[in-house]
Amino acid sequence: MTTSNPFSLDGRVAMVTGANTGLGQGIAVALAQAGADVIAVGRSAPSETQAAVAAAGRRCHWVEAALDEATHVADIVERGNAALDAPVDILVNNAGTIRRADALDFTEADWDAVMGVNLKTVFFLSQAVARTWVAAGRGGKIVNIASLLSFQGGIRVPSYTASKSGLLGITRLLANEWAGKGINVNAIAPGYYATNNTQALRDDPERSRDILARIPAGRWGEPSDLGGAAVFLASRAADYVNGAVLPVDGGWLAR
């Protein structure tokens, strides 16, 4: 189905990892409001997300899967393609995890846990989806969820910083290789949002004050703030956007 509105996602199927809460939920709901059906991938049932997607008049199917290792990505894509009797058109690599400790004390286990979810699985899930698109002679959209720490070093999150910095590199590499195949690969860099990953920061009065003092918008982001960027990069309006990163950060990087 096509429409004159280049931002419309009518007739599209979007696979969103980590869509049960937080940023992933905000993105999934925004995509549904733009017309897409949603495949939510993750360990936990996305009950709230499914209800919100249904309220937008779209379908939402849960593919239960662990994303801390990449051995089952082909199965995830196969189940996603079969779930709604239509192939996946859009992949949003949102699922992520974080571990906090001083660099002097950081463990190998915490390093591997974060890199597995945030970088390794993102690459191989993107590869698995892109293989189906290339085999079918069609294009698609991949949106990776990066971070302000794709640009900055951060404090006490070495594996998270490494993974999100690497994610920008992978986004650009895949854009270079796949743009000519009709596959757009781009990224969004969220700022400081009110999610589970930032609970420790928001609970620390000093850190929370310092963070808010630097954000020109003067507030923590809400997951819904990310929706417009995701819809844009997933839509026909972004057909000539390749390898870009769009900060949605209340002005943090401009400060």
Residues 90, 15: contact at Cβ < 8 Å? yes
Q: Which is catalytic among the residues 160, 192, 193, 240?
A: 160
Check if 240 is active-site.
no
Single-letter code of the amino acid located at 209: R
96-123 per-residue burial string, b: 16 or more CB within 10 A, e: under 16:
bbbbbeeeeebeeebbebbbbbbbbbbb
Q: What is the 3-state secondary structure (H, E, C) of 105-122?
A: CCCHHHHHHHHHHHHHHH
Question: How many Å apart are CA 115 and CA 254, to the nearest integer?
Answer: 28
Residues 163, 119: contact at Cβ < 8 Å? yes
Catalytic positions are 160
